[in-house]
């Protein structure tokens, strides 16, 4: 019978964004406005959004309702902050 080895699990340290030192890098929604562009969505709406921090600005267009675009911007900001703000161990 083959000898079994115990499974060793590595503990991953808790990591969070260092928002205190790098608050200037945190993205926020600056503007969401209706855009006059052709849209294929059921509502026929297209919105222009701007998210920014003190260093850069991201402008984009999204089809859907305003609520859907607001939700999308929230997800986008979470992703941008995860990539931009340095992390610290807790």
Measured from the Cβ of residue 85, the count of other Cβ atoms closer than 10 Å reads 20
Give the residues across from 80 on adjacent strands: none
Are the CB atoms for 83 and 11 separated by under 8 Å?
no
Rounded Cα distance, 85 and 81, in Å: 5
Helix, strand or coil, per DSSP, at residue 15: strand
> What integer is the mean pLDDT of 63-85?
94
> What integer is the mean pLDDT of 59-70?
93
For 4-24, what is each residue's pLDDT tens digit? 777 776 666 677 888 888 989
Residue 9 has a pLDDT of 67
């Amino acid at each position: 019978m083959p000898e079994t080895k115990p499974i060793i699990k590595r503990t991953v340290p808790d990591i969070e964004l260092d928002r205190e030192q790098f608050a200037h890098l945190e993205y926020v929604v600056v503007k969401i406005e209706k855009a006059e562009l052709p849209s294929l969505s059921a509502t026929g709406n297209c919105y222009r959004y701007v998210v920014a921090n003190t260093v850069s600005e991201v402008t984009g267009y999204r089809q859907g309702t305003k609520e859907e675009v607001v939700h999308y911007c929230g997800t986008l900001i979470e992703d941008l902050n995860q990539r931009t703000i340095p992390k610290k161990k807790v």
